[in-house]
A and B are shown apart, each in its own frame.
Chain A
Amino acid sequence: MSECTMIEAIRMALSRALDENPDVVIFGEDVGIDGGVFRATDGLAQRYGASRVRDTPLSEAVIAGMAVGAAAHGMRPVAEIQFTGFLYPALDQLANHASRLRNRTRGRLTCPMVLRAPYGGGIKAPEHHSESIEAMLAHIPGLRVVIPSSPARAYGLLLAAIRDPDPVVFLEPKRVYRAIREPVEDDGVALPIDQAIVLREGADATLVAWGAMITDAREAADQLAELGISVDLIDLASLKPIDRGTIRSSVEKTGRCVIVHEAPLTAGLGAEIAADLAEHCLTSLLAPIRRVTGFDTVMPYPRLEAHYMPDTARILKAVHDVMEFA
């Protein structure tokens, strides 16, 4: 078993998928000879040929729409959008077609496609390159939205997404791409696609996060442990559908919940989780649910980016608040 980064794990999963299923095709901007701007597809065009790993013309509407057509006609497209900031022309295809084809045709035509896109901030990228738009996508009925937080989870979840019979938007936290190394076994084993992952068990509070925020949440959990506060750390992993059960049972145990996301506060997924807990776990709650999120601002350009990003300090403050409440 080798130690690898998330970008290497993604490449390993793509390669495995190309090996195991001749219907898998990869396309997107610069995914061919260049290997993708983050190198997720590095070497794949050379290895599998230009017919299975294709550079498209510059058109996100075409990338997503072709994925719909190809998927409905028997392929397993794994398409790439270079950055979520450029995904918007693809929303038409996702919201009006990918997510509805099964429902409209009562199961006759389906859409087993994956749309991968790097998302999120923290790497001082130019404007339109750092947004977190998972809530917008999770709001679309019929789509799956999956976000890995580590190399091993990227490998397992991407394989699950590719094998899934329905459309999956697979958002990759670009800040994590090269930041963490961990052992990843290229064994072709997928992770369950609709389950949250309990990364750490504790008694005092529940921390829910996903993507790059897991790194900050874990750091907060470490510091809390030194103070004698133990938390359940939950990686949501599948944002749509949400594994509500795992979160509820954790909060029934701890009585306190802090939700962390990089996306803006208003109408973010934290609101959905908080509402679910208010509806189902009211009697277990010892303190108000807290959200630590990005602000309702445009993602700042690099010089002020750090002020936008939720960090360990803000997470710690929220956990201390709920601990002090009761």
Chain B
Amino acid sequence: MPTQPDHQIPDITVFLDPAGYPVHELPEFSRDREALVEMYSAMVKTRTFDAKAISLQRTGRLGTYASSLGQEAIAVGIASAMTKEDVLLPSFREHGAQLWRGVSLEELFLYWGGDERGNDFANARQDFPVCIPVASQFPHAAGVGLAIVQKDEPGVAVAIGGDGATSKGDFYEALNVVGAWMLPVVFVIANNQWAISVPRLDQTRARTLADKAVAAGIPGEQVDGNDVIAVREATERALTRARNGKGGTLIECLTYRLGDHTTADDASRYRDDEDVSPHWSEEPLVRLRAYLVAHHGWAKEDEETLLRDCRDQIEKAAETYLATPPQPAQAIFEYLYADQPQDLIAQAGEMDDV
């Protein structure tokens, strides 16, 4: 009699344990001090931006803001694996990836401060803006993948979403077409264990979110999302597969949302500090710093210089943002169509009349 097929959960990719000890031989790129310091610096910069954004919001100078506290390794790991030809389709918690791709601190502040110009990136011009309607970015990624194939380009589309996003049809349907058409697309799930107040286990009974790849016929794997080396290594493998015409991959990055969902949320309504505190020992900055200290002579002065540098950059960017006047009111009419229709010109005139 056939037995129940035992669907093994494959190993979780991880290189550095929470204390920063290597548990496997490190991949090539991470033997280079400079590469590691670059990733570490990007994570520190992301966290510093985060703190500043929250303090601006609290003092009424920024809009509702989604913190990425504790998830910096996912954003930086993914972006550091990508090349210029690739296209990033973020959700709303990947500030670190956007920064790595060349989006400026001023642009991020503008966006979160409620100004559309924050989406008009000076660099990374093919990247998509933040996507608020959960999971709706995944079909776009499939479309970018299609365009890449049709135009015979070398790039890969990389879309990121949360654990909650995997419950939406958009996610499954896009995953399915990526499989069916073997599109050069990587889907990354930043599983931070919460969708606002709904814990991961109430979201789905699936054993892993990576398992959701099975039905689409593409590989799915779990990665320690607090290990930036693991995230980068897994993303690089997925990108290589895609570039070699082997199709899409689903990567589930395991992490934990250390902060509130957004500045509009109060997580103490639905989870206790005791739920959260153990996860502080697993967060991504601590472990890479420990590794750098142990293996690359990362000194107290290095850390201090880096922090000061990040703070200076971010203070300066915040000042620039705060000194940027809003667009003129007429701007609300100017970007709906390539050519402004007569009807809108008339409405714009009426606005001036009052």
Contact = CB atoms under 8 A, between A and B. Distances in A.
Contact of A126 (B63, B167, B203): B63
A241 interface: no
Interface stretch (A66-74, A165-173, A246-254, A292-300): A292-300
A314 B347 CA distance: 13
A208 B218 CA distance: 56
A-B complex: 4 closest residue pairs judged by Cβ atoms: A302-B114, A34-B197, A57-B167, A58-B164
B264 interface: yes
A60 B269 CA distance: 23
A304 B196 contact: no
Interface in B243-286: 264-265, 269-270
Interface size class of B (residues with CB under 8 A): 35 or more
Nearest to A313: B354
A86 B198 CA distance: 17
B37 to A, nearest CB: 34
Contact of A303 (B132, B327, B351): B327
Interface in A21-49: 29-30, 32-35, 37
Contacts of A33: 197, 269-270
Interface in B116-162: 116, 132-135
Given A298-B336, A301-B114, A59 B167 contact: yes
Contacts of A125: 63-64
A307 B351 contact: yes
Given A33-B197, A126-B64, A303 B326 contact: yes
Contact of A34 (B196, B203, B331): B196
Contacts of B63: 124-126, 301-302
B64 A296 contact: no
B58 to A, nearest CB: 15
Contact of A296 (B326, B347, B354): B347
Interface string B337-351: 000000110011001
Given A37-B264, A58-B195, A128 B332 contact: no
A297 B354 contact: no
B347 A295 contact: yes
Given A33-B197, A58-B167, A89-B169, A304 B326 contact: yes
Contacts of B132: 85, 126-129
A296 B344 contact: yes
B115 A301 contact: yes
Contact of B198 (A55, A301, A303): A55
B204 interface: yes
Given A32-B197, A57-B198, A317-B353, 19 more contacts: A30-B198, A34-B270, A37-B196, A55-B198, A55-B202, A89-B168, A126-B63, A127-B132, A266-B343, A295-B332, A295-B344, A296-B343, A296-B344, A297-B333, A297-B344, A298-B332, A303-B113, A304-B329, A314-B354
26 contacts: A29-B195, A33-B270, A34-B270, A55-B198, A57-B164, A57-B167, A57-B202, A58-B164, A59-B167, A59-B168, A88-B133, A124-B114, A126-B63, A126-B64, A266-B343, A295-B332, A295-B347, A295-B348, A296-B347, A298-B332, A300-B332, A302-B63, A303-B113, A303-B327, A304-B326, A314-B354
Interface of A: 29-30, 32-35, 37, 55, 57-62, 85-86, 88-89, 124-129, 265-266, 295-298, 300-305, 307-308, 313-314, 317
Contact of A307 (B134, B332, B343, B353): B332
B197 A301 contact: no
Interface of B: 63-64, 113-116, 132-135, 164-165, 167-170, 195-198, 202-204, 264-265, 269-270, 326-327, 329, 331-333, 336, 343-344, 347-348, 351, 353-354
Contacts of B332: 295, 297-298, 300, 304, 307-308
Contact of A58 (B134, B329, B351): B134
Contacts of B113: 302-303
Contacts of A127: 132
Main secondary structure of the interface of A (DSSP, over half): loop
A147 B187 CA distance: 39
A101 to B, nearest CB: 21
Contacts of A30: 196-198
B349 to A, nearest CB: 11
A64 to B, nearest CB: 12
A124 B332 CA distance: 15
Nearest to A297: B332
Given A128-B133, A304-B326, A59 B196 contact: no
A314 B63 CA distance: 27
B196 A86 contact: no
Given A127-B132, A301-B114, A58 B169 contact: no
B130 to A, nearest CB: 8
Most chain A CB inside 10 Å of its own CB: which residue of B116, B165, B348, B353: B116
Contacts of B351: 295, 307
Contacts of B64: 125-126
Contacts of B164: 57-58
Contacts of B167: 57-59, 62
A34 B327 CA distance: 37
A301 to B, nearest CB: 4
Among B202, B269, B331, B332, residue most surrounded by chain A Cβ atoms (within 10 Å)? B332
Contact of A29 (B114, B135, B196, B327): B196
A296 B335 CA distance: 12
Contacts of B165: 58
A129 B64 CA distance: 11
A297 B329 CA distance: 12
A80 to B, nearest CB: 13
Contacts of B265: 37
B251 to A, nearest CB: 19
